[in-house]
Structure 1
């Protein structure tokens, strides 16, 4: 959405403005054009996040994709925050240095709106073996832009659910409800806190970041009846529901959460769960494959239930790391060949056969959940994951209408900056450096600046 104007600014200036929003204060300037050291010939450049499933892809590419197609893939692999900055810089400037990048369902609609991505419908139409209809509907919808065209293909998809130690619960004589409320989870966390030496009741992210702390907390806000903005773009972080949800979350993690919670994100909670330092963990469904891996100390000890709720029927988020092709790519056709391979059924088969079916980048294809090998290997969590993804409601995640899509985020460019700044305030409350009321007062002021921008459009 742009402010109406009789005279439309040049496209380069619009891109620069958007890049400034997404990257500030990283970028001090902006330039237009498709210059830069792009790929060419029989090679493509891929920029991606350094999670375990991506690095596995990197290891398999040369011996399989390149061997089959003759296309060499040059990978640049970076941590999440770093890769987001580098992707937004290269794509916003249409520098053409990278042909393909890992983008989420948050960025893809925004990037598509700014003209930074190559649409994929034309490639899908010519590649029937890819089987687009096999992609789970929520994933297809989340990667479709306002113009009705696809601009991304998922590498893996996820929602969120609650993971817990069945053996610990059994020893304590406790039963996890099939569909727990957050209050029930808090009560259980108190009872299993200390169940084993050094074990805390639950792990919840407290690490600053719009995609770290704010992801699970926003799902709690949704189901407690809160929202970041109402339909008129009025900031609502000072509402009773938002405050109640945040106080609950902060209070729970401070009372029964992991040590060092204010610096704990997905990776730290995964480590705590694997090392039996916590009895429960609310987070991404994609964690289950890592917890149930052959070398995991807690393999077979875990149970899984849907994301806890209060006022809504469901509260799990919807997220995918997906592939986007830069509009300025000099090798878009070859880039699609890579995307088709990396998100295709054949790649899942390859991972299942070489690394084990629990490690398959799932959460995107219906056929995965019909595969007997996968269903057996991922029996403890595969059905719960599929249900969570299919029941996610990105356009209606709470108890009131929203001005923008998103469950664990608000689908506007400004949210990266806003969400991160708010998360820093909440994390300070988790650390005990300020009260939740103080954190939300500062956060409301930050959100009101966004309100002023959007209310005038």
Structure 2
């Protein structure tokens, strides 16, 4: 591993990370329990050795993390010095003063951050959260199973062709399911994938006046398709599966295809995986999402200077080199989707056959407001009320997937809940 002390960045971190009285400090960091964040705990042991800053990790499942971090940050609880948040929260929380603006040294090279990630985590050009890893979504499929079944999957394929491929690969008697997709309820769980399906069918969360549109024909067509695809060709209990559950199933050889975060490709251990750009039903805009898990400093922490210093290190070029050269990880496990320079590293190019597909997905994602949708965001709406709306709708979609409700019943209840939330918030 490259020694931090050999770089100007490393020296500056050492200089800024000790308390005035010379005693070591401790930072409490709330992270999502995904692979890259878990790996960081091991890589960061060198940071503690060189700076004297102890790191107290609080690793939480995605939905629990969002709930706890939102509650603590909104109330100024001070439980965490650094938090994992994403593109939905960062601009809103930054504008509200809940998190601190980030300013880094010249060596950090903020211009190296991919524009999609930097813009999505900024307010009026000011960065409020630094991307630890970024992602879009894409199709990851077993080419051996596709070949044996005599099917192909193309970039931006039609959903009908994708369903046909799932049907051909589906072999539950031998423990293989045609399509593994998110079903666990949550605005960042099942609704991340579901929203891209809705987008591709020409739907959106809200109309121009921010009335929910869950009772539209586009939503009905998309949800009927999703429930049929996953209910017929997915693993049993899909309403309980999100990223980590499906990653385990895929690596056990139980999935023909998985449409999910591009970052998943870093953690696939099955041989012969191929990649394709996300399917669409005639409207490719919004068929693949855009997200970053980022690191931010809650306003009011007593360890602001040390928190900023750690984030600068953890999201730097030096950190990517540290992972690439780490004996336990290597170049196939570096956090991706954040810096242009990562994709130019020869060792990474050799170790990451998914790199080109990932970059293509990130560059084609379309978070901007359009005539179709009045809000910023692909798989979410960048408004304060969205987490509440998305969570309520997620429960109804999961109920439709499990068979507890019909699609019509689920969407009727979802529309009612969303309308109540938006009306109470004063949108109309």
Fold shared by both chains (TM-score > 0.5): yes
Alignment of 1:149-188 (within 5 A): 149-188=126-165
Q: Name 1:51's counterpart in structure 2.
A: 34
CA distance 1:192–1:456, change in 2 (3 Å): closer
CA distance 1:173–1:228, change in 2 (3 Å): same
**Does residue 1:418 correspond to 2:383, yes or no?**
no
Aligned-partner Cα distance in 2 for 1:289–1:47: 22
Q: Deviations over 1:170-218 (max 9, x none)?
A: 1222222233111110111112212882212111111111111111000
Alignment of 1:22-421 (within 5 A): 42-62=25-45, 64-120=46-102, 123-124=103-104, 127-145=105-123, 147-194=124-171, 197-291=174-268, 296=269, 298-299=270-271, 301-314=272-285, 315-354=287-326, 355-379=329-353, 381-396=354-369, 400-421=371-392
Please say if residues 233 and 454 of structure 1, whose CA atoms lie closer than 8 Å, have aligned partners that are also in contact: no
What is the CA distance between 1:41 and its match in structure 2? 6.4
Q: Deviations over 1:397-451 (max 9, x none)?
A: xx73423211111222222222122111111111112110110011111111234
Secondary structure at 2:255 match in 1: coil
Q: Deviations over 1:38-91 (max 9, x none)?
A: xx96332222222221121112223x2123333332222222222222212221
Please say if residues 317 and 408 of structure 1, whose CA atoms lie closer than 8 Å, have aligned partners that are also in contact: yes
What is the CA distance between 1:99 and its match in structure 2? 1.7
What is the CA distance between 1:96 and its match in structure 2? 2.9
Please say if residues 160 and 317 of structure 1, whose CA atoms lie closer than 8 Å, have aligned partners that are also in contact: yes
Q: Deviations over 1:133-191 (max 9, x none)?
A: 1100000010012x431101000001100111001111222222233111110111112
Aligned-partner Cα distance in 2 for 1:432–1:373: 47
**Does residue 1:428 correspond to 2:399, yes or no?**
yes
Secondary structure at 1:202 match in 2: strand
Please say if residues 233 and 455 of structure 1, whose CA atoms lie closer than 8 Å, have aligned partners that are also in contact: no
What is the CA distance between 1:454 and its match in structure 2? 5.4
Aligned-partner Cα distance in 2 for 1:240–1:150: 39
Where structure 1 has 5 or more consecutive residues not aligned to the other structure, the ranges are 1-39
Aligned-partner Cα distance in 1 for 2:315–2:410: 41
Secondary structure at 2:198 match in 1: helix
Aligned-partner Cα distance in 2 for 1:387–1:454: 37
Q: Deviations over 1:99-149 (max 9, x none)?
A: 2111111111121122111111xx23xx0111101100000010012x431
Please say if residues 156 and 321 of structure 1, whose CA atoms lie closer than 8 Å, have aligned partners that are also in contact: yes
Secondary structure at 1:229 match in 2: coil
Please say if residues 168 and 195 of structure 1, whose CA atoms lie closer than 8 Å, have aligned partners that are also in contact: no
Aligned-partner Cα distance in 1 for 2:372–2:122: 21
Secondary structure at 2:308 match in 1: helix
What is the CA distance between 1:456 and its match in structure 2? 4.3
Q: Deviations over 1:302-339 (max 9, x none)?
A: 10000111222341101111010112122222111100
Q: Name 2:421's counterpart in structure 1.
A: 450
Q: Deviations over 1:224-282 (max 9, x none)?
A: 01111011112110010111011111111112122211211112211221112121111
Where structure 2 has 5 or more consecutive residues not aligned to the other structure, the ranges are 1-22
Secondary structure at 2:177 match in 1: coil
CA distance 1:426–1:313, change in 2 (3 Å): closer
Scaled by the length of structure 1, what TM-score is found? 0.85
Which moves more between the two structures, 64-73 or 312-321?
64-73
Q: Deviations over 1:353-388 (max 9, x none)?
A: 111211111110001100000110002x11110111
Please say if residues 159 and 318 of structure 1, whose CA atoms lie closer than 8 Å, have aligned partners that are also in contact: yes
What is the CA distance between 1:455 and its match in structure 2? 5.7
